[in-house]
Amino acid sequence: MTQATPVKEKRWIKHLIGGGITVLCLGAILRLVNVSEVMDALAHFHWHYLILGVASLGFGYAVRILRWSIMLSAEGAPVGFKNCAEPFLGAIALNNVLPFRLGDVIRALVFPSAMGVTKTAATTSLVVERLIDLVTLLTCLAVGVLAIQSIDIPPALRQTALILAVLGGVTLAIGFFFSSSFARLFKLWGGSNEREPKKLSGVFLAIAGLFESFDVMSRPRVLGLMLLLSMLVWAGESGLFYFALKGLGLDVNPLMALLVMAITTLSTLAPSSPGYVGPFHLAAFTAVTLIGGTSAQAGSYAVIVHLALWVPTTIVGALAIWSRPALFKAARK
């Protein structure tokens, strides 16, 4: 009981921090918008654009699943698209309703047994996926702020976006090109010194295994395909943001949608309540006002895009889990 209490307290602190950030973000938006004007903007939204946006989002998620199956197959176990579809979509749905991206944890540690892959391969693929997505998003942010000349973007934001993109690219390159060296180093630490505590040696060997899988997934052919697919992933997702902007009647181009998508998606890294409520809405609101939208348009846009992202992925993911109950057999064991 004495050991469990501090863990529970830490969890409650995390929940309180996430909930506090959500409340602060929503409070900031409410101070900046007129609710009646937002409702009026929603009433005049051209909803047929949302159908095109959700279709574009669906394309992006299909490419995500294909990318994951290729990464897992690079480890030597052939994993088809269908075998990856249910666990991937199920994890997305769980991320939408559970705190701290627990869906990702379940995808890495629980679902692999039903897929016929190792937990090490699933965890490594998740890390590689997140790193590539982060670098791609930072690149989208840099491209947006540097290429768009029709809006007044603060110079500090342009410089920050460029620096973050460069740092992200350098970090990714170091991880990919030196993963085999890191694997050998951690394997040496884990197995050479018998006086090391067994738990610490086990951790070192586990990290070595991750870097070995990382090395396999970062081979030039696989890496090049991953980068290409990642661009298609975020092109599909930016389509939703673009069509939602068009639905509000805003005169925008795809580069503006790319900028809005990058700012909004990066905001989900901040702690919040399940579903990224709060930071997502404030970031979307800020991005739309940055490209010239009114506060009413920005407020309605934040609501529409969040629902367009959350509702379809949650429903489809829940259906995927329901259709394949064997995904949770490791948890039952």
Task: Summarize pLDDT for 33-43 with one digit per residue, the tens.
Answer: 777 888 888 88
Mean per-residue pLDDT, 183-199: 66
| Encoded tokens for 7 | 């863990």
CA dihedral 50, 54, 56, 57 (to 10 degrees): 140
Q: What does the pLDDT read at residue 321?
A: 93
Q: What does the pLDDT read at residue 242?
A: 97
| CA–CA separation, 188 and 311 (whole Å) | 47
Per the model's pLDDT, the better-predicted residue between 226 and 222 turns out to be 226
Q: What does the pLDDT read at residue 66?
A: 96
Does position 178 have pLDDT exceeding 80, yes or no? no
Does position 193 have pLDDT exceeding 60, yes or no? no
Does position 2 have pLDDT exceeding 60, yes or no? no
123 Rama sector, left if φ>0, alpha if ψ -120 to 50, beta otherwise: alpha
Closest CA to 260 of 156, 140, 152: 140
Mean per-residue pLDDT, 258-267: 92
Q: Where are the alpha helices (DSSP H) in 110-197?
A: 112-115, 119-147, 155-177, 179-192
User: Residue 10 — pLDDT band, cuts 50, 70, 90?
Assistant: low
| CA–CA separation, 139 and 116 (whole Å) | 34
Give the burial class of 322: count Cβ atoms within 10 A of its Cβ; 0-12 exposed, 13-18 middle, 19 or more buried.
Answer: exposed
Q: DSSP label at 291? A: T
Mean per-residue pLDDT, 164-179: 78
Does position 175 have pLDDT exceeding 90, yes or no? no
Mean per-residue pLDDT, 48-63: 96
Its pTM stands at 0.85
Does position 1 have pLDDT exceeding 50, yes or no? no
Mean per-residue pLDDT, 172-186: 76
Q: By percentage, how much of the chain surpasses pLDDT 70?
A: 88
Q: How far is CA 247 from CA 35, 47, 141, 266, in A?
A: 19, 6, 23, 23
Does position 182 have pLDDT exceeding 80, yes or no? no
User: Residue 161 — pLDDT band, cuts 50, 70, 90?
Assistant: confident
Tokens 């991953």 locate to 226
Q: Worst-scoring range by mean pLDDT, 86-95, 102-111, 153-162, 192-201?
A: 192-201
Q: What does the pLDDT read at residue 199?
A: 65
Q: What does the pLDDT read at residue 197?
A: 59
Return all residues near 83 (Cβ < 8 A) that are at least 6 apart: 69, 115, 116
| CA–CA separation, 20 and 242 (whole Å) | 30
What's the mean pLDDT when you consider all of the chain? 83
Per the model's pLDDT, the better-predicted residue between 4 and 98 turns out to be 98
Per the model's pLDDT, the better-predicted residue between 197 and 32 turns out to be 32
Closest CA to 86 of 123, 120, 114, 128: 114
**194-219 core/surface letters (b: 16 or more CB in 10 A; e: else):** eeeeeeebeebeebbbbbbbbbbbbe
Q: What does the pLDDT read at residue 169?
A: 79
Q: How far is CA 194 from CA 187, 200, 201, 206, in A?
A: 13, 11, 9, 17
Q: What does the pLDDT read at residue 111?
A: 93
Q: DSSP label at 1? A: -
**256-279 core/surface letters (b: 16 or more CB in 10 A; e: else):** bbbbbbbbbbbbeebbbbbbbbbb
| CA–CA separation, 326 and 316 (whole Å) | 17
Q: What does the pLDDT read at residue 176?
A: 72
Q: What does the pLDDT read at residue 285?
A: 93
Mean per-residue pLDDT, 194-218: 69
Mean per-residue pLDDT, 87-109: 91
| CA–CA separation, 221 and 124 (whole Å) | 17
Mean per-residue pLDDT, 130-154: 83
Return all residues near 291 (Cβ < 8 A) that are at least 6 apart: 148, 151, 250, 252, 256, 259, 260
| CA–CA separation, 238 and 206 (whole Å) | 37
| Encoded tokens for 10 | 């830490």
Q: What does the pLDDT read at residue 107?
A: 94
